């Protein structure tokens, strides 16, 4: 009898609800910190191996920057002699073996001595070498578009998740309804239509309705630090078409992924049990089903960051967007290996950081995930 009373008392006793900050403190106070440390330690050899692949893949096409430059001059009627070409290769360090070029490149990126000429000029210990195509330091070229690229990437990513998640939840909870069919058709169209075609259509409609194509991100009216800027309202207006074009393709994929996962979770046994016990439908969907369904989307954060960072290169060219995608294409076409290597290395770093962030988010969203055993 006493045992039954104790069991009843234990069942009736309710644990005080933990606040968000308490849950967050408990989450980071356990094995996740060790996991983050291990992943950060893995970051260095991963980036090192990526740098090797990047540098040697960029070197695969026949010729070098000097060859491409000589061809461009020849098309304009200017011919360089063999001695002049060799002198130019020696000036740029292209006369050395590839392995030597890589060693010099990675060594100077990691640390350039204080007594070097580069440090005396640029006051930096990280020498990303010289951009042949732009005629200046590689990092100066990258830095010109890095800030605007990160800003555009962040806005597009926020747009993707803000639009796709509510639509996916609605479609999964209203399966085969009119709204579900409408969103499915829009999703299939967004995935099927090439981005550059959609960009051209939207530019035409914008010009027809407003008299302006609303392309490009910079203005010819104001110059700050060598960059033309619109006022913020004009800048946001010109971001509408890029957000729709670049964001739509990713949004459609996220909708289809979350919808499929949500439908799978909604049909599981634990949701039926929760309904039988009288748990509110909203709580079942948002607290249990959605947290499990978001896992595949969160795990792909690294790839999304990289793709958005470079942007759809063809779309960026069509829309005259001054971001890193067209810059990388120009570097590859002119065989400007140091500039191309720097941009690809930044993308690779974003992938690694994005994967780390996605792993942390997965562990926070899904308590079933274990990294080092035990319970959390």
Mean pLDDT for the stretch of residues 72-97: 76
**Angle subtended at Cα 46 by Cα 43 and Cα 47, rounded to the nearest 5 degrees:** 85
Read off the pLDDT of each residue in 98-112 and give the average, rounded to a whole number.
86
Q: 237: buried, middle or exposed (CB in 10 Å: 19+, 13-18, 0-12)?
A: middle
**Tens of pLDDT, residues 287-307:** 888 888 888 888 777 677 666
The reported pLDDT for the residue numbered 78 is: 77
Helix axes 31-58 and 20-28, enclosed angle (nearest 10): 70
Q: Which CATH number fits domain 141-365: 1.20.1290.10, 1.10.3720.10, 1.10.150.20, 3.40.190.10?
A: 1.10.3720.10
In terms of DSSP H, where are the helices of 211-336?
A: 232-266, 269-276, 281-283, 290-293, 295-299, 301-310, 313-318, 324-333
Q: Cα(241)–Cα(226) distance, rounded to whole angstroms?
A: 25
Q: What is the percent of the chain where pLDDT is above 90?
A: 4
CA distances from 90 to 21, 42, 97, 222 (A): 60, 37, 12, 40
pLDDT band, very low/low/confident/very high, at 236 (cuts 50, 70, 90): confident
Does position 153 have pLDDT exceeding 60, yes or no? Answer: yes
Would you list the domain boundaries of the chain? 141-365
pLDDT for position 30: 58
Q: Which of 356, 365, 364 lies closest to 44 in space, CA to CA?
A: 356
pLDDT for res 288: 85
Give the pLDDT score at 219. 54
**What is the mean predicted confidence (pLDDT) over 102-123?**
82
Q: Which two tokens stand for residue 269?
A: 């046994």
Q: Which three-class secondary structure state does DSSP give residue 342?
A: helix
Positive/negative CA dihedral, 293, 298, 303, 306: positive
């Amino acid at each position: 009898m006493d045992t039954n009373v104790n069991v009843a008392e234990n069942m009736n006793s309710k644990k005080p609800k933990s606040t968000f900050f308490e849950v967050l403190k408990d989450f980071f106070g356990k094995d996740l910190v060790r996991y983050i440390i291990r992943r950060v330690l893995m970051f260095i050899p991963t980036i090192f191996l990526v740098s090797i692949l990047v540098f040697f893949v960029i070197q695969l096409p026949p010729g070098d920057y000097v060859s491409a430059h000589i061809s461009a001059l020849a098309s304009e009627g200017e011919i360089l002699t063999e001695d002049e070409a060799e002198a130019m290769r020696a000036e740029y360090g292209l006369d050395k073996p590839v392995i030597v070029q890589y060693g010099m490149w990675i060594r100077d990126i990691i640390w350039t001595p204080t007594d070097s000429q580069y440090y005396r000029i640029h006051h930096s210990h990280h020498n990303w070498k010289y951009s042949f195509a732009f005629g200046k330091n590689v990092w100066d070229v990258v830095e010109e578009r890095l800030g605007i690229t990160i800003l555009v990437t962040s806005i597009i990513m926020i747009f993707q998740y803000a639009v796709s998640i509510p639509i996916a939840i609605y479609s999964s909870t209203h399966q085969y309804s009119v709204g579900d069919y409408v969103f499915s058709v829009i999703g299939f169209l967004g995935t099927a239509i090439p981005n550059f075609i959609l960009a051209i259509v939207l530019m035409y409609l914008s010009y027809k309705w407003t008299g302006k194509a609303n392309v490009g991100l910079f203005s010819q009216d104001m110059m700050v630090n060598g960059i033309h800027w619109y006022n913020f309202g004009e800048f946001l207006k010109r971001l509408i078409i890029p957000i729709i074009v670049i964001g739509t393709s990713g949004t459609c994929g996220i909708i289809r992924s979350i919808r499929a996962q949500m439908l799978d979770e909604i049909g599981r046994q634990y949701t039926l049990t929760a309904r039988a016990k009288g748990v509110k439908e909203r709580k079942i969907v948002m607290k249990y089903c959605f947290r499990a369904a978001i896992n595949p989307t969160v795990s792909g954060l690294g790839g999304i960051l990289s793709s958005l960072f470079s942007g759809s290169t063809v779309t960026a060219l069509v829309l005259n967007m001054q971001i890193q995608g067209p810059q990388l294409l120009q570097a590859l076409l002119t065989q400007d290996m140091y500039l191309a290597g720097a941009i690809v290395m930044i993308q690779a770093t974003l992938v690694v950081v994005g994967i780390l962030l996605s792993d942390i988010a997965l562990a926070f969203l899904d308590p079933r995930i274990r990294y080092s055993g035990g319970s959390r």
